[in-house]
């Protein structure tokens, strides 16, 4: 069985002049190599395709695959993560992970939270700020948390993201808007512990791979899993697995959100505890990082005794079930 690999290789974009932060979500060579080696270890033939424009060239040259292992994040637009799946759908080529609708929806944190909230899953109240005039319309109790609504890897998040009054909220919004032009989400700040839940499978077959607590050291930026904390996590962030009644509550919220959003195969749900100690949905990552050492999902698996090979096998088995 021939498996194509679609991915955004960070070094390619850096050579084109993009910055470290602009390419933060993209993959390193060792990630692509590890996935390819795991697929070959499972008996598949592999074929590296690359990013969306390279996929277009291959498709126009009449290349086809039995399945595509897709981890493309895309570069432009609110539908950037949906571009590769949409192309593959047009050519009736199956692929791993979520479909275009899910990937376009979940990149927009505000729209995602509306779906989650409508399904009865707890998530903090929020407002969207897409232009300066929207700042004055925010009517939520402080403290609040401000971040871009269409970015990942902690981009646009730092110690100034938590705001305690109107002045700091306005200042942070005005600082971020020129850079993150699609807009910001301002949500009630949940003051409790932070967790990320690894998930494998689709629909009713989805299951938790474990609940991992994100613990910030004194060297970390305060209040959040920021871009700096994620990019340079050694010494800033520690991880610990949770296995108690609270873990069960986190898993229930995470699986509820995963199923409500119709995510597929594998990914992560980020949660924080409110002032009463109840978990609330923060965001979903349906294209979770797969660096075998540094990415959160493989870290969760490693804590749980699940090898990287087994993780890739679970993803492929979930995708193959649909085919």
Q: Say yes or no: 198 and 244 in one domain.
A: yes
Residue 100 belongs to some domain of the structure:
no
Cα-trace Rg, the chain: 19
Q: Could you give the percent of the chain with pLDDT greater than 90?
A: 86
What is the per-residue pLDDT for 259? 98
173 and 225 within one domain:
no
224 has pLDDT over 80: no
User: Over 80: is that where the pLDDT of 211 sits?
Assistant: yes
CATH number at residue 60: 3.40.50.20
pLDDT per residue over 135-184, tens digit each? 999 999 999 999 999 998 788 998 899 999 999 999 999 999 999 989 99
Contact yes or no for 74/84 (Cβ under 8 A): yes
Phi, psi dihedrals of residue 177, rounded to the nearest 5°: -55, -45
Q: Tell me, what CATH number does 314's domain have? A: 3.30.470.20
Same domain, 140 and 208: no
For the chain, the straight-line distance linking the first and the last C-alpha, in angstroms and rounded, comes to: 13
Per-residue pLDDT of 61-90, as tens digits, reads 999 999 999 999 999 899 999 999 999 999
Domain coverage including residue 145:
125-188
Residues 200 and 313 in one domain: yes
Contacts of 142 (CB under 8 A, 6+ apart): 163, 164, 165, 169, 189
- In sequence order, the 6+-apart residues with CB closer than 8 A to the CB of 188 are 124, 125, 126, 140, 141, 143, 144, 145
Express each pLDDT in 234-280 by its tens digit: 677 899 999 999 999 999 999 999 999 999 999 999 999 999 999 99
pLDDT tens per residue across span 269-317: 999 999 999 999 999 999 999 999 999 999 999 999 999 999 999 999 9
Which of 173, 188, 203 lies at the terminal end of a domain, its last residue? Answer: 188
CATH of the domain at 150: 3.30.1490.20
Give the pLDDT band (50/70/90) at residue 22: confident
Average pLDDT, the chain: 94
User: Predicted confidence band at 185 (pLDDT cuts at 50, 70, 90)?
Assistant: very high
Shared-domain flag, residues 242 and 161: no
pLDDT at 230: 56
Q: pTM of the predicted model, to two decimals?
A: 0.93
Residue 290 lies in a domain: yes
Residue 135 and residue 170 share a domain: yes
CB atoms within 10 A of CB 178: 8
- 262 lies in some domain: yes
| Residue 206: predicted pLDDT | 98
State whether 216 and 305 are in the same domain.
yes
CA 49, 106, 99 angle in degrees (round to 5)?
45
Q: Is residue 308 within 8 Å of 315, Cβ to Cβ?
A: no
Query: Is residue 319 pLDDT above 70, yes or no?
Result: yes
What pLDDT is attached to residue 220? 65
Give 320's pLDDT tier (boundaries 50, 70, 90). Answer: very high
| Domain termination residue (choose one: 139, 170, 188) | 188
How far CA 22 is from CA of 28, 100, 143, 152, in Å, comes to 14, 22, 29, 11
Query: Where does residue 137 fall: left (phi above 0), alpha (psi -120 to 50 degrees), or beta otherwise?
Result: alpha
**Tokens describing residue 285:** 């990552």
3-state helix, strand, coil in the chain (%, to 5): 35, 20, 40
Tokens of 83: 């571009």
Q: Are residues 78 and 157 located together in one domain of the fold?
A: no
Q: Which helix (H) or strand (E) holds 30?
A: helix 29-41
Residue 91 included in any domain? yes
Q: What is the pLDDT of residue 138?
A: 97
């Amino acid at each position: 069985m021939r498996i194509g690999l679609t991915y955004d290789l960070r070094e390619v974009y850096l050579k084109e002049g993009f910055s470290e932060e602009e390419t933060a979500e993209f993959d390193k060579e060792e990630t692509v190599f590890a996935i390819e080696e795991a697929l070959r270890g499972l008996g598949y033939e592999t074929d590296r395709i690359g990013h969306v424009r390279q996929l277009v060239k291959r498709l126009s040259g009449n290349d086809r695959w039995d399945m595509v292992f897709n981890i493309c994040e895309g570069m432009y637009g609110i539908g950037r993560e949906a571009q590769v799946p949409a192309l593959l759908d047009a050519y009736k080529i199956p692929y791993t992970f979520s479909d275009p609708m899910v990937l376009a929806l979940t990149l927009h944190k505000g729209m995602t939270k509306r779906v989650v909230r409508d399904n009865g899953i707890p998530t903090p109240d929020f407002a969207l700020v897409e232009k300066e005039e929207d700042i004055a319309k925010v009517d939520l109790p402080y403290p609040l948390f401000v971040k871009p609504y269409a970015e990942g890897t902690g981009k646009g998040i730092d110690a100034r993201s938590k705001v305690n009054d109107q002045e700091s909220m306005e200042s942070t919004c005005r600082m971020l808007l020129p850079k993150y032009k699609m807009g910001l989400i301002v949500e009630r700040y949940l003051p409790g512990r932070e967790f990320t839940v690894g998930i494998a499978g689709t629909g009713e077959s989805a299951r938790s791979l474990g609940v991992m607590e994100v613990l910030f050291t004194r060297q970390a930026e305060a209040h959040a899993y920021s871009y700096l904390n994620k990019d340079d996590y050694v010494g800033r962030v520690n991880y610990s697995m949770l296995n108690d009644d609270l873990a069960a509550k986190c898993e229930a919220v995470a699986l509820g959100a995963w199923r409500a959003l119709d995510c597929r195969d594998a990914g992560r749900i980020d949660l924080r505890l409110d002032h009463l100690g109840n978990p609330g949905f923060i965001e979903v990552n349906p294209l979770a990082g797969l660096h075998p050492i540094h990415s959160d999902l493989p870290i969760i698996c490693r804590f749980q005794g699940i090898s990287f090979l087994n993780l890739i096998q679970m993803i492929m088995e979930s995708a193959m079930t649909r085919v």
